[in-house]
Amino acid sequence: MNKKKELRLRLPFRILIVFLGVLVVVTSYYPIRSIYKLHNHKYSLDTSIDMYKDGIYSYVIDKEYSETLDKIYGEEGYNPDRIDDYMSIKYYDRDNFLNNINKLLDLGYKIDEINNIYAKTSDKFIEKLTSKYIYDIGKYLAIDYFKEENYDRYIEYFNGSYQKTVLHVNIGLDKDYYQDPNNVDKFSITMLVNKYNKLDKDFVPDDLVLIDSNYSDEEIYLNKQAADAFLEMCVAAEKEGLHMKANSGYRDYDTQEKLYNYYLKLYGKSYNDKFVTLPGFSEHQTGLGVDIKSTSSKVFKNSKEYKWVLKNSYKYGFIHRFPESKVNITGIHSESWHFRYVGVETATKVYQQGLSYEEYYAMYLDK
């Protein structure tokens, strides 16, 4: 065979080899490029390879990265038909995450509800939700001060309004007065003591001081912050020709007990239920509550001082603690004379929003 003929026979073979080489390069380039793009899209390398193998590269690459999809892809229980749902659910590193979101989806919970469930509830509560569909759970979870530990009480108490139900139960209105109270043992100017929140017998507030004798007919103590604010408020009222004094302030447990028994004997239980709390449940024991009287009128509610203090007390950190419009919340009948120090910021919000302190505490502080 001459050299020309040999060259003609080798040429097609060489072309075939080159073609196969190019084909190998091209076919290997595209998967590598696709996997790289998925990985560059934040997906892990393993997930990127699996996605490419499963043929969903083009479906996933143009959508936002999903941590949930990244973490659960290929796990036991993964359902490719639910890829859109998985991509819309926020990932939480929680026990049985994939199994539980599958159960929630099976029961008919919406994506927003599932995200809210994981954002606001514990694994224990999620077990409750995966056992049966609760159609109105989204309405409860939409309330900022929802407490999962109170959920069964919400259901039992429900009064037609989700918001009021949650608020009232968190306050304790679904229980009888003094029943199973919360124990309060730490002093703060925003502490709450009422018929559902109790102080120990030996509780004494911080920094008790005597109120300036010019603004008290007897030795009356308050927490120093409250006493200073009360003095400032009285001085401001004086500049407008008004005169106020403290009629009562801090009372310890024993004093409250004697007072309760005195009025119980004098007027009976129905009177005490309205006006006098059991010892340990009195706000006076906090050293933050003060009863105010006018020097110009025996009935404080009829005085100019009362009208002034209603409009101005918040500027000095005080709130009207037991207004007539909130008797069903506070459990105490209207006391025009009783004001409570909570600090200017809190007092301003309570005043501006027209809330009782129980409502404000449940909505903003007790979380």
Q: Would 79 be classed as within a structural domain?
A: no
Q: Would 33 be classed as within a structural domain?
A: no
Residue among 257, 262, 259 nearest 279 (CA) = 257
The CATH code of the domain that includes 210 is 3.30.1380.10
Distances (CA, A) of 353 to 24, 124, 235, 253, 273: 73, 35, 27, 32, 27
Least confident of 23-37, 42-56, 171-185: 23-37
Decide if pLDDT at 13 tops 60: no
Residue among 143, 144, 148, 158 nearest 123 (CA) = 148
Q: Would 139 be classed as within a structural domain?
A: no
Query: Sign of dihedral through CA atoms 21, 23, 29, 35?
Result: negative
Residue 331 and residue 192: Cα distance in Å, rounded? 14
Give residue 222's pLDDT band: very low, low, confident or very high (50, 70, 90): very high
Q: Would 302 be classed as within a structural domain?
A: yes
Which pLDDT does position 7 carry in this prediction?
A: 46
Burial of residue 16, with CB atoms counted within 10 A of its CB: 0-12 exposed, 13-18 middle, 19 or more buried: exposed
Q: Would 129 be classed as within a structural domain?
A: no
- pLDDT single digits (tens) 224-239: 999 999 999 999 999 9
Known active-site residue 359: no
Looking at the structure of the chain, the number of domains it has is: 1
- pLDDT single digits (tens) 38-64: 989 999 999 999 999 999 999 999 999
The pTM is what? 0.85
Which pLDDT does position 228 carry in this prediction?
A: 98
Which pLDDT does position 29 carry in this prediction?
A: 44
Q: Would 17 be classed as within a structural domain?
A: no
Query: Contact 229/316 with Cβ under 8 angstroms?
Result: yes
* Residue type at 176 in one-letter notation: D
- pLDDT single digits (tens) 315-360: 999 999 999 999 999 999 999 999 999 999 999 999 999 999 999 9
Which pLDDT does position 6 carry in this prediction?
A: 52
Decide if pLDDT at 8 tops 60: no
Decide if pLDDT at 145 tops 80: yes
Domain carrying residue 238:
182-365
Which pLDDT does position 14 carry in this prediction?
A: 53
Give residue 20's pLDDT band: very low, low, confident or very high (50, 70, 90): very low
Q: pLDDT above 90 covers what percent of the chain?
A: 86
- pLDDT single digits (tens) 150-161: 999 999 999 999
Written as six digits, the tokens of 238 are: 């004086």
Point out the catalytic residue in the list 148, 283, 335, 358: 335
